[in-house]
Amino acid sequence: MFQSYHGSGTSSTAAFLQAVGPSLGIFQVGHRNRYRHPKKAVYERYAEHGIRRLRTDERGAVTLRFGPQLQVETHRETHARYWHGR
């Protein structure tokens, strides 16, 4: 299971994460977002529960392929910035 989320400080409590049990959290973060999401405590809470975290501001678009196994691909993994690897 995965959860797509912006990371505000008012949801995704420890009890919620334990009840839902996601294996992946996708944080939709816009450039220069004025709300400063995801909140640090919320982002860290996902890590404390062993949930893989992806931020769209760091990884770009996230593509999910559903099948026997969830396949996750991020834009920056397949389309590195031209100055990386120099």
Q: Which of 85, 34, 82, 33 is nearest to 56 (CA)?
A: 33
DSSP letter at 68 equals S
Give the model's pLDDT for residue 84. 73
Residues 6+ apart with CB under 8 A from 21: 1
For residue 31, what pLDDT band results from cuts at 50, 70 and 90? confident
Per-residue pLDDT tens over the stretch 34-62 = 887 888 899 999 999 999 999 998 999 99
